Amino acid sequence: MSISSFSFPTTTLSGTGALGELPARLAKLNIKRPLVVTDPGLLATEAFQKLQQTLGTPEQGKTWFLHSGVHPNPIEADVHDSAAAYRAGQCDAVVAFGGGSALDVGKAARLLIKRPDLKIAEFRYEDDWSGLPPLIAIPTTAGTGSEVGRSSVVTITATKRKAVLFHPELLAKLVILDGELTRSLPPKLTAATGLDALTHCIESFTSPNFHPLCDGIALEGIHLIVEALPRAVRNGNDLDARGKMLVAAAMGAIAFQKDLGATHSLAHPLSTLCGLHHGTANALCLPAVMKFNAQRKPGLYRRVGVACGLDVVKSSDAEADARTIGFIEKLTAEVGLGQKLRDYGVTEAHIDPLAEQAILDGCHATNPVPVTKDDLKALYRAAL
């Protein structure tokens, strides 16, 4: 057996009202001039108002700064602009507040704060990234789990491809999971982000890499999501469901340090070339990939089915897979995302350029069965 490395170091506060702990935690870390990194859509939300109230005002002697220019699919300029705002405010920490985009930009900006000359496309893991400014990560969606991740995904301007910046130093010093902050998330976005978390759990569990800690976390994440996501979509004020989804999203991101699969290789180009929300892209591609994998590795999804609450322990491999995949399709439809790629403007003309990018995406390298470029084209067509 090869040697594996297990690490789960992030301090996490979870529960309704956990945001109220932020001032004391900032003081404990000796943070006095934080930069809040977020996206413009959040500024008018109840969640951002709660953050403002928690951080306080200049009249109360509180000093903090704001950069709110993050795009839905973050680009290089977002990272550069955030780092520039940090330097202009002479800040001493980053508070990344929002969905996966804001969290990713907040993480990556710290690289440019340490090295202003860095070109994102030339980031190297081997360089010395110690001493990055501290990061407090506060998600307002329950999907990417970026708050507990050690990577940041940014679209490179020159190539229009997503680059994954990975390093343990990118981890947050503190994560706050407060269901109050996701309460006003619309049903469609609740569904898309929740199915993103579900995809993380399923793909990480079925990745062939050895990581039993991640396997257990992924299965419990699936269990939480299938119970809580429909409730969160039906009733945004269900704080129990909201809280469970935040925890499950973080679990999905912890689990995928084991790696992901072909669904993510399909989804990444759909965001860069067709503008799809990442969670939506995952949700629309996942069933096709599961069917493809199950045909070549029967019984792959039996334990996923058990985590979903299905009685498939004694079923044949084919029946266990079919029932599990059917359950995922039904759940996707139940929360309002049971469409096809064509419903989001993807056409046959997109398939070749999508597949060109998908085959270069590293996620499919840890798919439970190998895929070729022709396989990826077929999977796009199956989801079309």
SS3 128: coil
| pLDDT tens digits for range 345-375 | 999 999 999 999 999 999 999 999 999 999 9
Indicate if the pLDDT at residue 141 is higher than 90. Answer: yes
What are the DSSP E strand ranges found in 291-341?
A: none
Indicate if the pLDDT at residue 4 is higher than 70. Answer: no
Q: What would the two tokens of residue 48 be?
A: 């951002």
Indicate if the pLDDT at residue 6 is higher than 80. Answer: no
Query: Long-range contacts made by residues 86-91, C-beta under 8 angstroms, separation at least 24?
Result: 86/35, 86/113, 86/133, 87/113, 87/116, 89/33, 89/35, 89/65, 90/33, 91/33, 91/34, 91/35, 91/65, 91/133
Indicate if the pLDDT at residue 5 is higher than 70. Answer: no
- The rounded distance, in Å, linking the Cα atoms of 264 and 285 is 9
CB of 170 within 8 A of CB of 107?
A: yes
**Would you say the C-alpha torsion 323, 327, 333, 337 has a positive or negative sign?**
negative
Indicate if the pLDDT at residue 1 is higher than 60. Answer: no
| pLDDT tens digits for range 26-80 | 999 999 999 999 999 999 999 999 999 999 987 777 899 999 999 988 999 999 9
- Which pLDDT score is estimated for 72? 84
Q: Which amino acid is at 278?
A: H
Indicate if the pLDDT at residue 17 is higher than 90. Answer: yes
Indicate if the pLDDT at residue 2 is higher than 90. Answer: no
Is this model's pTM higher than 0.85 or not? yes
Indicate if the pLDDT at residue 227 is higher than 70. Answer: yes
Pairwise pLDDT comparison (162 vs 294), residue with the higher score = 294
Indicate if the pLDDT at residue 290 is higher than 70. Answer: yes
- Which pLDDT score is estimated for 77? 94
- The rounded distance, in Å, linking the Cα atoms of 384 and 281 is 11
Ordered domains of the chain (ranges, CATH) = 12-182 (3.40.50.1970), 187-383 (1.20.1090.10)
- Which pLDDT score is estimated for 3? 66
